[in-house]
Amino acid sequence: MEYSKDMLFFCYDFLLQKKLKESNIKFITTAISNDQKRFWLYFRTEDVNAVIKQHIKQ
């Protein structure tokens, strides 16, 4: 199976990551970017999209 960027979500927002965690959504991996910023990588699912939409509204 090939992966594309559309299937992935790179989360750099600590508050959003906390909300994803509270929703029991597991990340694929976490790392430090070339800019020295931590990020979490998620599969872009309906659940992830719903949490993102809720986060944007606040």
Nearest to 10 by CA among 24, 23, 20, 22: 20
Least confident of 7-11, 23-27, 54-58: 54-58
What pLDDT is recorded for position 19? 98
User: Is residue 55 very low, low, confident or very high in pLDDT (cuts 50, 70, 90)?
Assistant: very high
What pLDDT is recorded for position 58? 83
Q: What is the pLDDT of residues 17-49, one digit of tens each?
A: 999 999 999 999 999 999 999 999 999 999 999
Q: In this structure, which long-range contacts are made by residues 33-40, counting pairs with CB atoms below 8 Å and at least 24 apart in sequence?
A: 37/12, 38/12, 39/10, 39/11, 39/12, 40/10, 40/11
What pLDDT is recorded for position 1? 76
> Model pTM?
0.89
